Chains A and B, each alone.
Chain A
């Protein structure tokens, strides 16, 4: 088939005249564009040059409007209604009842005293998860970036070693580790070898949370390492040379030069990781299913369970919970923008 195609001139490289495999992708696309050329010309003649930018923006803005902006308002409308119907006009207006239901607690420090204890358990779990995950994620990303920034051999190779899990799908990551952590998995085989007892990792709430955190760090560390590494490489080398000439100790160089200059970068990483962490769902859902019980059920899983899996699909309650999550994320994003501006302005 290739040789047949190669007969056609459009599949040949303009300079060498040889078959160019890239053209297999580009050729159909250019046919498509050529097809649109004529109608677009008519539009331009009809409406004039001034409207062309709007024409170019139209498809994208339609998508944004339909799948982001409209839903944002509809979400709010949903949160003010009750019942089980999906269509808004069939839903009963309940005012702030859903919020009152979510936020009704005897004692805010104890999730079990709340009317909707699953929501509060989700919030608490997310808070615990975020605190530990963020701390160790940033710590290990920083250490890895520092190590990779040293003059080591095969640096590119080692960078990919830490980076590649970022590209794996959350389902794959969860299954890889689930296979290791099973009752008869390899980790338990090693424990038995070292004459410990087997541990049922998915039966103990503490262990389940530990592995949820561990796996989330394992999967995402490479991404943040890369950002920190870019920050490290932006530090002017003459600062280090000057310090070395003065015979400054490595530890002192780290605290006095590296960390202060890296700090704005680090702040961006922290906020980015925080925004992502609050929305953690995929890996943990596949790994533990939120269990044992509700020990690793996070806020996004609460929304998913409430809106899409329970017998009665409670869209109103799910929407109210998402509005609360949205407010938290909005605050965090504002903070991130401020941090980015601060970083860019030095």
Chain B
């Protein structure tokens, strides 16, 4: 490379360079300290989750824990049915040998050399160290698919999220169209009504909504999760604000061309309102994927659990199988991370402009 400065020097230059070349202030040091701590505190737990999710149950039990997922090396030895764990043993004469353990009795372990299975050794357990290699325990991810209802939780979550988002987009955009394009009697009353529903979170009306859902015969069906939250006042607002900016002439012109109102709605206004609809779609997907309290109340049978409810039920069991929980948590987290990675801009501007979450 033509550049004569070494890499660390250049990194240091990059870090200490200040825009405008002004002097350092204590707030600058604070800023970088705070940002560094931020990376550690915000990313650390998630990284730790992902690393841990690849460890075997034995690896998870280790204290103090290791960073990387390590598994003990096992070998097949002639004459033994099971695979045997490998240890590095310090022999009497000070030399070391790699031996497989047959069984352990108290503080003595019976060992065998995989190369010559006929000779056995008796070694005090203090003189052996397990041999470990880097190994990702993919079975944490694969087992729950077969052994538990995990696959059905996943499907349920996908169904709920997709259907709910489609219904939300349809009925809210229709309402927003009605409220932004027309002047009609009672429009202000409807607006006030929509604003009013904004103030009534689900936590306040759990019991009666449960009654409504029961009356409709939807308890323990996914519709009980999909329908109650489908009409969102924030969604109506967001879309209406956007549709108000669409020029009225355009709508008049299409009416001149004998377009029916439904055609004006879906052929003219909807395509123009796509940016706002995209924002609402992203939010709806996030809301529905992450929803917890309401599904917890209306879904009581394991077959209809969504991911969130299933995960919670799983972690509440007496014999907690953390290796599966961690892996399932990672799976639950992936769609959100993907959505965020690709649509970050939509999300952040959506929040900053509408203050909704």
List chain A positions with a Cβ less than 8 A from chain B.
29-30, 33, 36-37, 40-41, 44, 49-50, 52-57, 59-61, 63-64, 66-72, 74-75, 78, 86-88, 143-144, 147, 150-153, 158-172, 175-180, 184-186, 189, 192-193, 218, 223, 226-227, 229-230, 250, 268, 272, 279, 281-282, 286, 289, 300, 303-304, 307-308, 315, 318-319, 322-323, 325-326, 329-330, 333
Contacts and interface: CB of A to CB of B under 8 A. Distances in A.
A141 to B, nearest CB: 12
Given A71-B205, A169-B292, A303-B203, A64 B38 contact: no
Nearest to B46: A176
Given A176-B49, A177-B45, A171 B293 contact: no
Interface string B296-339: 11000000000010011001100000100110010011001101
Given A162-B38, A178-B315, A172 B329 contact: yes
Contacts of B206: 303-304, 307-308, 318, 322
B8 interface: no
Contacts of A72: 200, 204-205, 208
The 3 closest A-B pairs by CB, nearest first: A56-B178, A71-B208, A63-B231
B48 interface: yes
B326 A144 contact: no
A189 B63 contact: yes
Interface in B192-240: 193-194, 197-201, 203-212, 214, 227-231, 233, 236
Contacts of B204: 72, 75, 322-323, 325-326, 329
Given A40-B262, A61-B190, A152-B31, 4 more contacts: A57-B178, A169-B290, A230-B352, A322-B203
Interface in B104-139: none
Nearest to A160: B344
Contacts of B46: 176
Contacts of B214: 86
B42 A63 contact: no
A279 B203 contact: yes
A335 to B, nearest CB: 12
Given A63-B227, A150-B31, A325-B204, A282 B292 contact: yes
Contact of A53 (B18, B182, B347, B348): B182
A109 to B, nearest CB: 26
Nearest to B228: A67
B260 A37 contact: yes
Contacts of B6: none
A60 B236 contact: yes
A52 B286 CA distance: 32
B211 A86 contact: yes
A250 B228 contact: no
A177 to B, nearest CB: 6
B263 interface: yes
Which of A60, A72, A229 gathers most chain B CB within 10 Å? Answer: A60
A285 B17 CA distance: 46
A218 B14 CA distance: 30
Contacts of B312: 171, 286
A287 to B, nearest CB: 10
Given A37-B263, A40-B260, A57-B178, A158 B35 contact: yes
Which of B177, B207, B336, B340 gathers most chain A CB within 10 Å? Answer: B207
A40 B207 contact: no
B34 interface: yes
Contacts of B289: 169
A185 B62 CA distance: 10
A86 to B, nearest CB: 6
B263 A279 contact: no
18 contacts: A36-B262, A37-B263, A56-B177, A57-B174, A67-B212, A67-B231, A68-B197, A71-B208, A72-B208, A86-B211, A144-B34, A158-B38, A167-B336, A167-B347, A168-B290, A176-B329, A279-B203, A326-B204
A193 B182 CA distance: 69
Given A57-B175, A69-B197, A170-B292, A322 B311 contact: no
A64 B194 contact: yes
B179 interface: yes
Contacts of A86: 210-211, 214
Contacts of B227: 63, 67
Given A178-B315, A193-B64, A282 B35 contact: no
A180 B262 CA distance: 54
B34 A171 contact: no
Given A56-B178, A165-B42, A226-B348, A147 B35 contact: yes
A161 B39 contact: yes
A178 B190 CA distance: 45
A259 to B, nearest CB: 15
B148 interface: no
Contacts of A66: 212
Contacts of B353: 230
Contacts of A33: 262, 266
B178 A53 contact: yes
B82 interface: no
Given A44-B262, A304-B206, A226 B352 contact: yes
B316 A289 contact: yes
A41 to B, nearest CB: 5
